[in-house]
Amino acid sequence: MVGGTRMSLEAKVQELLDRQAIHDLIARYSRTLDWLDDEGQAGCYWPDAAIDYGFFTGTAAEFVPVVMAVERSTGRRWHLLAPLAVKLTSATTAEGECYGVALGFRREDESEPYRGNMYGGRYLDTYEKRGEEWRIASRRYIMDWTMPMPDQPDASPNAAFPLPMLDLRESGHPDYRRM
């Protein structure tokens, strides 16, 4: 309930639609980062969004190329953001917070195993609806912990457990689907 007043059915439905759009936005953020979709990642933020990741402070337009270069330096990456708490503050603004777990693995040489870390933190966001679209209007990331992960094998299938493994360093993987 926005503003503490009794809401009409139409207002309740709009609130549900807005909340779902923000949840979809956060899912899209993780997917486009992991699949190296530069355009999709940029579409998660308003270009003028204020971004503070500690190692970077500036606008989203400046941040997206930086974070995508970081992600391209890894062959394997995985981001999970949940649970997402959303507070609608008006018809066009909202606040959100969620926890994030990310893994990144890289190797310097094809003969070496992948080495990496797991990171845990939280995202403190504001969202803004412009027209009919919700995007991140500001984001502050706080890292709570990091830990080294065991070395990982190369991308060759394991005969005992033959599942495919991704090694993504470029955009445009054939398994990626825009959603």
Write the pLDDT tens digit of every residue in 8-63: 999 999 999 999 999 999 999 999 999 999 999 999 999 999 999 999 999 999 99
Instruction: With respect to residue 159, please indicate whether it lies within any of the assigned structural domains.
Output: no
Return the CATH number at 80: 3.10.450.50
Max distance between CA atoms of the chain, in angstroms, equals 64
Give pTM, 2 decimals: 0.88
Instruction: With respect to residue 165, please indicate whether it lies within any of the assigned structural domains.
Output: no
pLDDT band at 153 (very low <50, low <70, confident <90, very high): confident
For the ranges 87-101, 110-124, 153-167, the lowest mean pLDDT is seen at: 153-167
pLDDT band at 87 (very low <50, low <70, confident <90, very high): very high
Instruction: With respect to residue 118, please indicate whether it lies within any of the assigned structural domains.
Output: yes
Residue partners of 159: CB distance under 8 A and separation at least 6? none
Instruction: With respect to residue 25, please indicate whether it lies within any of the assigned structural domains.
Output: yes
Instruction: With respect to residue 177, please indicate whether it lies within any of the assigned structural domains.
Output: no
Structure tokens at 12: 């309740």
Residue partners of 145: CB distance under 8 A and separation at least 6? 119, 120, 121
Q: Residue 144: which domain range?
A: 7-152
Instruction: With respect to residue 158, please indicate whether it lies within any of the assigned structural domains.
Output: no
Structure tokens at 111: 């003969």
pLDDT digits (tens, 9 = 90+) for 111-139: 888 899 999 999 999 999 999 999 999 99
Instruction: With respect to residue 95, please indicate whether it lies within any of the assigned structural domains.
Output: yes
Number of structural domains the chain divides into: 1
pLDDT of 161 higher than 70 = no
Query: How far does Cα 171 stand from its chain's mean position?
Result: 16
Instruction: With respect to residue 172, please indicate whether it lies within any of the assigned structural domains.
Output: no
Q: How high is the mean pLDDT of the chain? A: 91
